[in-house]
Amino acid sequence: MNSPIPPDDTDNLQQTGNNVPITDDVRLDARSPRDVAAPRDADGVPGDVSVPGNGAAPAADAVRRGQVGQVVFEPLRWWHLGDIVVLERKIFAEDAWTPELFWSELAQGAARHYLTAVRDDQIIGYGGLAVHDDESYIQTLGVAADARGRGVATRLLVALLRHARTRDARRCELEVRTDNAVAQSLYRRLGFVELGVRRGYYQPSGADAYVMSADRIHTGDYGRMLDAAEQAVSR
């Protein structure tokens, strides 16, 4: 996994045109869980995870065309972690999270919202969100190589952002490698803009990261944009 950045790393953020400040509690990259204080459910597992989007299955005509075919979205639970860790290693290789990190994330209870995308009883993607007051963070997002380009990540991200809205978050932030054009395009489609660059952020590779943020995610306009983005990959 990627190394946490030091607490004073915000000094290293080079603005790229948007002057929205980075919060001081930004310590970890988009692939590293945010250390957000967490209310915990009575059973110690995330209790408010929900089916993404409006909870509806993909549109029937889209399913018939096989574009979002048979993919269902479910809360990530501890018993999924064996499969998730295997997929995580395939997707992120040396940057993969450890099982302990996933356990730690699930132990954060209501401060986290993790979802899986499942096709034919196989987990093909997953994503996670952290919420703290009116701030939210995309913790991770990954889709199996053979399931990409069909809107799975878009639908996961839309679901995470809708959840952030239900938690009264007004803003969402993430980091992404500057050489990850596919992910950047996905994030831009959902209203994220670059705030700056963290030089040498990823270790040991030394790769740079963009900090990206979507603001005013609580507004009706943003909600309609999420609806449109979801519809665009369901056609």
Ligand X SMILES: CC(C)(COP(=O)(O)OP(=O)(O)OC[C@H]1O[C@@H](n2cnc3c(N)ncnc32)[C@H](O)[C@@H]1OP(=O)(O)O)[C@@H](O)C(=O)NCCC(=O)NCCS
Q: Which residue's structure tokens are 């509690």?
A: 25
When the beta carbons of 86 and 182 are compared against ligand X, the nearer one is 182
CB of 125 to ligand X, least distance (A): 6
Q: Which of 175, 170, 182, 172 is nearest to 219 (CA)?
A: 170
When the beta carbons of 172 and 186 are compared against ligand X, the nearer one is 186
CB of 159 to ligand X, least distance (A): 12
The residues near 75 (Cβ < 8 Å, ≥ 6 apart) are 46, 49, 50, 51, 114, 115, 116
CB of 100 to ligand X, least distance (A): 20
Which CA distances in Å does 12 have to 20, 31, 139, 161, 208?
A: 15, 19, 21, 27, 11
Distance between CA 175 and CA 28 in Å, rounded? 9
When the beta carbons of 169 and 176 are compared against ligand X, the nearer one is 176
When the beta carbons of 27 and 148 are compared against ligand X, the nearer one is 148
Contacts with ligand X by CB under 6 A lie at 30, 67, 91, 141-143, 148-154, 176, 180, 182-183, 185-186, 189, 233
CB of 78 to ligand X, least distance (A): 22
* One-letter identity of residue 21: P
Side by side, the strands of the sheet bearing 171-177 are 13-15, 193-198, 209-215, 171-177, 135-143, 122-132, 112-119, 71-75
CB of 15 to ligand X, least distance (A): 20
Dihedral Cα 103, 214, 217, 182, nearest 10 deg: -70
CB of 47 to ligand X, least distance (A): 26
- For residue 138, the cross-strand partners are 129
When the beta carbons of 39 and 98 are compared against ligand X, the nearer one is 98
When the beta carbons of 118 and 233 are compared against ligand X, the nearer one is 233
